Amino acid sequence: MKYLDEYRDPALARTLLAQLRATATRPWRIMEVCGGQTHTLVRQGIDELLPAGIRMIHGPGCPVCVTPLEIIDKALAIASRPEVIFASFGDMLRVPGSRTSLAQLRAAGADVRVVYSPMDAVSLARADPDRQVVFFAVGFETTAPANAGAVLVAERLGVTNFSILVSHVLVPPALTAILEAEHCEVQAFLAAGHVCAVMGWTEYEPLAAKYQVPIVVTGFEPLDLLEGILMTVRQLEEGRAQVENQYARAVRRTGNGAAQDAIRRVFRVTDRTWRGVGPIPASGLRLAETYARFDADERFGTGDVHAVEEPRCIAGRILTGQSLPTDCSAYGTDCTPRNPLGAPMVSGEGTCAAFYCAGRRAARPVPVTDLTSVLNRR
C-alpha cells in the first residue's frame, strides 16, 4: 500500500476481499502470530468478512500473555522490597499474579513506576543511587534491543544499582512448537511485522521449507492484514510454501543489524516456559554471563518462587489457537478486563480482551455486512 490514508480505504478493502473470494477454492486455516494483528482483525471485524472457509486462528504473539505466572510472582516479590524501585511498562501492572498484581502492590505502597523506556529506569537508578532499580524486561525480539541497550549504557556509566528481570521470548521456536503439536490445524502464518523489522525473516525460511507452510510478514493496519491474508491464500492455492513480505515499508530480509548485534552481545538463547503453553526449548533469552550482575533474579534470590495457574483459565488453549475465548466458561462472567483471571484478558494485545472489547459474546462470530462501517471503526 502506497499511502497512509489508504490503510482504511473501503474501496481497496473491497478489491482485496473480491480477490480473496476469487482465489480461495477450499477452506484454509491461517494463524496471525501477533496480538496486535489479532486486535485489528477482531476490532475491525475483518475475520467476519473473509470468504467462507478461511478461518483465522489467533496465535501466542502477546508477550504479556505468555509471561509465566512464576515470573509475575518474582516481579511481585522484588517490587515488594522497600529498597526497590520497580519499573515496568504499563501493560504489565494489571496482569494478575498468584495473589495480587503490580498495580495492587503499588496501591498498597510499593514503589512501582510506569516508564516508557528501559533507559528511563537507568535514569532513575542514576538519580537515586541508594535504591535498587529493577526494570521488568518483557517482550519478543521487538523489545530486546532496547533492553540490551539499557544494560550496555548502565555498564558504560558504572550504574551498579540497576538490574533487569528478564522474560524475553522468541517467535520461531514457538511456531515450531505449534507446528509439531499433535492436533495442529495451522496451514499458514502471518508473521509479526515489528519482530521481523528487528530480526528479518531468514529464521522463518527453514520453517516454511521444513513444514511446507507459507509465512507472510504482515503489518498491523486493516489493509495490511487483508493483503497479507490474500498473499497467504495465493500460496496455499498454488501449493507454494515460501516466506513473503507484505510489510515492505518497514521490513527487510536481514532485519536491523545493529539491533541484532546488541541482542547477541547482552543475551543468550535459553529454554523458556510460556504461560499456559509450557516449556519450549531455546525459545527465550537470558543475560550472558558477562552481564550476570544485571540479573535481578540472581540479585534478589527469587529462584525458588513457584506458582500455580488459575484452574478455570484456558489461556494455553487460546494462545495456541485450539480454543476461542468464547469457549471458556469464565469468559465475560468471572473473567473480564476489570476482573481478569488470566493475562489474555488483561493484556492490551490479549485475544480474550480483543473479543470482549469487540462485543463478542456468542459462541461464534455473527456475520457483518456493512463493510464501510466496519473498516472505519476506531
Give the per-residue pLDDT at 370. Answer: 40
Torsion of CA 93, 312, 276, 181, to 10 degrees: -150
pLDDT band of 103, cuts 50, 70, 90: very high
Segment 102-127 shows an average pLDDT of 97
CATH topology of domain 65-170+255-299: Rossmann fold (3.40.50)
pLDDT of residue 277: 78
- Residue 372 in this model has a pLDDT that exceeds 60: no
What per-residue confidence (pLDDT) applies to 232? 98
Query: What do you get for the CA distance between the two ends of the chain, in Å?
Result: 20
Average pLDDT over residues 226-237: 98
Asked if the domains at 8-13+26-64+171-245 and 65-170+255-299 fall in one CATH topology, the answer is: yes
**pLDDT confidence of residue 373:** 42
Percent residues over pLDDT 90 in the chain? 71
Q: Residue 109 has what pLDDT?
A: 97
pLDDT score at 124: 98
The percentage of residues in the chain with a pLDDT greater than 70, rounded to a whole number, is 93
The domain spans of the chain are: 8-13+26-64+171-245, 65-170+255-299, 315-357
For residue 374, pLDDT beyond 90: no
100: amino acid identity, one letter: T
Q: Is the pLDDT of residue 126 over 90?
A: yes
Model confidence at 7, pLDDT cuts 50, 70, 90, reads low
Residue (of 35, 135, 126) closest to 354 by Cα position = 35
Tens of pLDDT, residues 326-340 = 999 999 999 998 888
Q: Whats the size of the chain, residue-wise?
A: 378
The confidence score (pLDDT) of residue 6 equals: 63
Q: What is the mean pLDDT of residues 168-180?
A: 94
In this predicted structure, the answer to whether residue 121 has a pLDDT above a threshold of 90 is: yes
Q: Would strands 267-274 and 278-287 be described as parallel, antiparallel, or unpaired?
A: antiparallel
List, for residues 127-166, the tens digit of each pLDDT value. Answer: 999 999 999 999 999 999 999 999 999 999 999 999 999 9
Q: What is the pLDDT of residue 204?
A: 98
96 pLDDT tier (thresholds 50, 70, 90): confident
Interatomic CA distance for residues 220 and 193, integer angstroms:
8
Return d(Cα 333, Cα 250) in angstroms, integer: 40
Mean pLDDT of all residues in 35-39: 92
Phi, psi dihedrals of residue 191, rounded to the nearest 5°: -80, 155
Q: Using the predicted structure, report yes or no on whether residue 365 has a pLDDT greater than 70.
A: no
Q: Please check the confidence at residue 167 and state whether its pLDDT lies above 90.
A: yes
CATH of 8-13+26-64+171-245, one of 3.40.980.10, 1.10.760.10, 3.30.300.30, 3.40.50.11750: 3.40.50.11750
The amino acid present at 330, given as its one-letter code, is: A
